[in-house]
Amino acid sequence: MHRYLDVSPEVAEALASGKAVVALESTIISHGMPYPQNVETAFRVEKVVRDAGAVPATIAIMGGRLKVGLDAEAVRSLGKKGRDAVKVSRRDIAWTIANRLDGATTVAATMILAAMAGVRVFATGGIGGVHRGAERTMDISADLEELAATDVAVVCAGAKSILDLSKTLEYLETRGVPVIGFRTREFPAFYTSRSGMTLEMRAEEPADIARFLRAKRDLGLSGGVVIANPIPPEFEMEASVIGSAIDRAVAEAEAQGIRGKETTPFLLARVKELTGGESLESNIALVLNNAKLAAMVAVELASLA
Ligand code: PSU
Ligand code: MN
């Protein structure tokens, strides 16, 4: 096993015996939701994965060790630290290890650690993407380059419209990343199932997604996949409510000169403040929904291997 990597005994046993495993990220815990709902949600997500017959592997960096399968104490610690925890994307991994720091991993970094351990399916809320105004700022999430490179399927509810969703899909197309709608032909926009953006690939069942992942691997086509799973209708938000909160948050970020890795956490926190508890409830519901689908895909994939 990799010299910097600790795979928990439960995850290691599942991988060795070919059982289904689902990777879970930790920036969503530290930077994506407030305490204590973030910690509660992290534990609920793990339970949903187990109930669907897979083993959860929450991923982070603790004391400079790469952790695949995080214990409850570490989940609580990252949840309490919140935005004070180091947000670790690809570029930050080696630095975090060399300085023996704790870090919460983004989609990009979680994909890297999942692939290192041999985990191929990953559930989160939303992926990073091309920011609005990227033609001026060049702010494009490292998540997209990771999706182009690293062989992990990411189940998400699309992406928040803090991003330019049209440019995000163009980028993914250019970099050869398949985007599959689960029972939809429209790219979902996190809080709502609608973005107006059409997808060409639609799957009806987890087994269909597993067969696709198997074919991609058999062909030696490296790189990730986005599985876009719309928020359950009963938790969808009114497009105008969420839309105006996001517009305002984006304008404030620009006015305050927010840059670099701070941009996404700033926008997430502002949108949450501006929409109160409603957006948090939607956020939790869609993450649980994604965890369930990811577990079902992982179970199907394990049965094909
Ligand atoms: N979008 C969300 N919730 C999140 C994130 C994005 O709706 O929690 C987090 C994820 O960890 C994602 C990261 O990988 O932000 C992207 O950050 P950046 O844009 O700086 O690459
Ligand atoms: Mn960025």
Per run of 10 residues, the mean pLDDT along the chain (length 305 residues) is 93 98 98 96 98 98 98 98 96 98 98 98 98 97 98 98 97 98 98 98 98 98 98 96 96 97 95 90 97 99 92
The predicted structure's pLDDT at residue 2: 87
Q: Which of 108, 116, 160 is nearest to 268 (CA)?
A: 160
The predicted structure's pLDDT at residue 276: 83
- 195 close to ligand 1 (CB < 6 Angstrom): no
Sequence length of the chain is 305
Q: Which amino acid is at 204?
A: E
Question: Is 200 one of the catalytic residues?
Answer: no
Q: How far is the CA of 286 from the centre of ligand 2 (A)?
A: 23
Q: Which of 213, 230, 94 is nearest to 153 (CA)?
A: 213
Three-point CA angle 246, 252, 256, nearest 5° = 150
Question: Is 25 one of the catalytic residues?
Answer: yes
The CATH fold assigned to 5-303 is Indigoidine synthase fold (3.40.1790)
Q: Which of 2, 5, 24 is nearest to 298 (CA)?
A: 24
CA–centroid distance for 6 within its chain:
21
Q: How far is the CA of 264 from the centre of ligand 2 (A)?
A: 7
Best residue for ligand 1 mutational test, from 24, 25, 26, 28 (most atoms within 8 Å of Cβ)? 28
Ligand 1 atom nearest to CA at 260 = 20
Interstrand relation of 103-105 and 55-62 (parallel, antiparallel or unpaired)? antiparallel
The DSSP string of 38-85 is HHHHHHHHHHHHHHTT-EEEEEEEETTEEEES--HHHHHHHHHHGGGS
How far is residue 28 from each of residues 31, 75, 89, 186, 268, measured CA to CA in Å? 6, 11, 13, 24, 10
102 exposure class (CB count in 10 Å sphere: 0-12, 13-18, 19+):
buried
Tokens of 6: 């600790």
Best residue for ligand 1 mutational test, from 41, 58, 83, 107 (most atoms within 8 Å of Cβ)? 107
Q: Which ligand is nearest to the CA of 249?
A: 1
The predicted structure's pLDDT at residue 300: 98
How far is residue 218 from each of residues 21, 123, 212, measured CA to CA in Å? 20, 23, 10
**CA distance between the termini of the chain:** 21
265-303: buried (b, 16+ CB within 10 Å) or exposed (e) per residue?
Answer: bbbbbbbbebbeebbbebbbbbbbbbbbbbbbbbbbbbe
Distance between CA 87 and CA 117 in Å, rounded? 21
- Is-cis flag, bond preceding 230, omega within 30? no
Tokens of 234: 């009963």
Instruction: 216-221: list long-range contacts, CB under 8 Å, 24+ apart.
Output: 216/178, 217/151, 221/176
Helices (H), the chain: 9-16, 27-30, 37-51, 72-81, 93-98, 107-117, 134-137, 142-149, 165-174, 206-218, 239-255, 263-275, 277-304
Best residue for ligand 1 mutational test, from 93, 105, 131, 143 (most atoms within 8 Å of Cβ)? 143
The predicted structure's pLDDT at residue 1: 63
Q: Which of 46, 67, 87, 160 is catalytic?
A: 160
Tokens of 37: 């709902």
